[in-house]
Structures are given as C-alpha cells and as structure tokens.
Amino acid sequence: MTTTENIPFLDLITPHVELEAELLEAAQRALRTGYFIGGPEVKRFEDDFAAYCDAKLCVGVGSGTDALRLTYLALGIGCGDIVITVPHTFIATTESISQTGARVQFVDIDEATYNLSPSALRRFLQTKCRIDPATKTTTCIATGERVKAVVPVHIYGQMADMDAIQEIADEYGLLVIEDAAQAHGAKYFSTKQNRWLTAGSIGVAGCFSFYPGKNLGACGEAGAVTTADEELAARIRMYRDHGQRKKYYHDVEGYNGRLDAIQAGMLSVKLKRMPLWTEQRQQAAERYNALLADVDVLTPFEPAHSKAVYHLYVIRTKNRDGLMQYLAEREIGTGIHYPIPLHLQVAYTGHFYKAGDFPIAEAVATEIVSLPMFPHITAEQQERVSAEIEEFLAKQKAPFEG
C-alpha cells in the first residue's frame, strides 16, 4: 500500500499560515487607525485589483453576489427586463438578477468548454425575440419584456468566448456583464482586438467574488466590480452604500454592500501572491492533463484563445458517483460544480422550465467531478489522485476479478 495520507479538495490553511504575519498586520492597521469600513486600505486594494484586471476602475463590495446585484441595479435592470445567462453556474449568478425584479432567461452551454454557447444565445435571440432596428432594443416576443443583458460566467476559471458573445450583444443592443467570480486573472485572446484581454475588462462590468475558496479569497466575505465606466462605478458606489451620493443624501434606496477595511488589507497581501498562485494552478492542471492523458476520463478543454486560471479542475466520466465514492473512501476530496442545473432547482419551479430544456447542461451535470486543486498541491498528491482514478476504472472494467 502506498501513502494513504488524505488529500483535501482545497487547502485553505497553508497559504494563510505562510502569510499569517502580514495578514495580522493588516488587521492591526485597522485596529490602530479606526478605519474599518472604507478608508485608504479599501482604496488601495481597489486600485491594485483594477490594475491586476487591466480594468480602469474597481469598486469593492461585500461579496460576489453584491457585485452582481449592485451592477444590475446600477445599470437600471429591473422589472420588465430579461437577463440571459447559463443554467450551469452557482445560483448567485441568477438570484441577483431576480432580486432586481428582472427575469432570468437561460441558454445552454458549450459542451467542450462548459461556458455559455454563443450559438445557443443567437438561436434564442433569433427565434424568441424581436429587435427594433430604430432603437436597437430587443424584446421577448411571447411576453414583451425587454432583453437587457447577457451574463457569461467564466466557469472554473476559463473565460467564455467573449468576441462571439460581444458581437451578438452589439447586434441586439445587450449589455455584457462578466461573472468573473471564478476567473481572477484569466486571459482571453481577442481576435478582434488582436491581443490578450483579462477577465473583468471586456464587458460593461466584471463581477468578482473573494469568498475564501476562490482563487483570490478574503478571510471572510468580499467582492468587487471592475469597469471602465466612471458613471457606472459611481452608481455602484452609491448602491453599495445605502444609495447615498454623499453622507445622508440618498438618491435611491441602496444596500449595505461595502467592502470592509480588514478584508481589503488582507486581500492586498494575497493579491501580491496571485501571479505565483495562478502559475501554480496552471502547472497543476498541466500535470493532471499529463497524468490522465491515457486514462478514460475527459480532461478540461482549453481552447487556443484561452489561458484559464483553474479555479477548479473538472473531469467528466460516466460513473461519476462511483468514482467519487471510491476516492472518498481513500480520503481524496472531490466536489460537483454543480450537481443540478439551475433551471431544474426547486427555487425555479415557478419559471416553468423542464428537464430536456438545456440538454448539454443537464448531461454535463451528471458526469462532472472536480478534483483536488489548489496552488500548493504537490506532484505526489496529484500522482496519487490519478493512480486511484485509474485503479477505479480498471476495477470497473473487470468487476468479477478478485
């Protein structure tokens, strides 16, 4: 028997132990200056994160969900509007749409990348919508609702096909909002612009989460919006702070959705490690790709136009549940992201979607499994994960052998 040391799905301890002194200093600065909400730490992190994303501006908020919600509100999305996105994502992408009063419209994903399928988007707009060429506004034929925006989710850290999505959005007068909650620092080669672009710098806004398990994680809740639009940034700042343009002058009813100074200070410490951590994730992904090359599972597809940051390393296999159980018995952590496509969640029963509506998202959800992935994963750990997967598959092929 080789090593049976447990391999976690995610290691949230090692990076924090490594940085403990610096992280504690960030907390201490808040204690000693009395800046807990807002202040110089927040401003510094916002500037540094904007630069990291090649974005002009960044607005720190309370969570990734706030980033999405406050962006939709600041863009004037609300009752009578439709926002298009994918069912293969975390529910924060869509609950934040519904919470503005707008309606979520799903379109299916691309089977190779698991990202929003530009052809499914076009098909929906061509068959279910009408565009008024004079005003370049698009409405849903059945309901008359205005189709306002499309939200590609850069799932698992790989960017959606932004050139194709932007082109369709321009044609139909839709805003593009990037859900970049899993894609800090991910790159996309834009053929149109003939250069590499960074997640969060392409759409009218990019929405990021700093939930602890994300590639850049706070030591608590935090999020941010990136944008090049000064007026939009100002409106998001207003919405994050009770709708006030200045203290006690409320233009609208807003939210309590601010980034706090301790989280901002800790995020600044961790942001400096992002180039290294991202490279480590990419190397770990390459190592898995090599280890699993001759194993009968589908490894992630990374198109030439993409530099993914591997928030998750997701493989596809027929007997997914059996494999997960086998690995769990050997103390190897795995996850499913996500087991039930959003259109089939109980929360969306009122939306009249049914099984079969988005067949690719549905098929993928039954076969995906996320393997242990974090910057500090070792080659030995990955070799063991791969060996156990191989062993499981071999046993499956010869079920009656001793």
Torsion of CA 87, 90, 93, 97, to 10 degrees: 70
Q: Tell me, what DSSP letter sits at residue 357?
A: S
Q: Which is nearer to ligand PLP, 214 or 287 (CB)?
A: 214
Q: CB of 309: closest distance to ligand PLP in angstroms?
A: 13
User: What is d(CA 253, CA 264) in angstroms, rounded to the nearest whole number?
Assistant: 25
Give the residue among 19, 4, 38 at the shortest CA–CA distance from 256. 38
**207-236 mask for ligand PLP (x: CB under 6 A)?**
--x-x-----------x-------------
**Among 92, 140, 271, 371, contact with ligand PLP (rule: CB under 6 A):** 92
Q: Which is nearer to ligand PLP, 27 or 91 (CB)?
A: 91
Q: Which is nearer to ligand PLP, 223 or 375 (CB)?
A: 223
Give the residue among 171, 178, 123, 127 at the shortest CA–CA distance from 150. 178
Contacts of 101 (CB under 8 A, 6+ apart): 78, 79, 80, 81
**Among 159, 169, 181, 373, contact with ligand PLP (rule: CB under 6 A):** 181
Helix 274-291 to helix 379-397 angle, to the nearest 10 degrees?
30
Residue at shortest CB range from ligand PLP? 64
User: Any contact of residue 60 with ligand PLP (CB under 6 A)?
Assistant: no
User: Any contact of residue 63 with ligand PLP (CB under 6 A)?
Assistant: yes
User: What is d(CA 64, CA 66) in angstroms, rounded to the nearest whole number?
Assistant: 5
**6-45 mask for ligand PLP (x: CB under 6 A)?**
----------------------------------------
User: Any contact of residue 113 with ligand PLP (CB under 6 A)?
Assistant: no
Give the residue among 175, 171, 109 at the shortest CA–CA distance from 147. 175
**Among 179, 241, 362, 388, contact with ligand PLP (rule: CB under 6 A):** 179
Residues that bind ligand PLP (CB under 6 A): 63-65, 89-90, 92-93, 153, 179, 181-182, 209, 211, 223
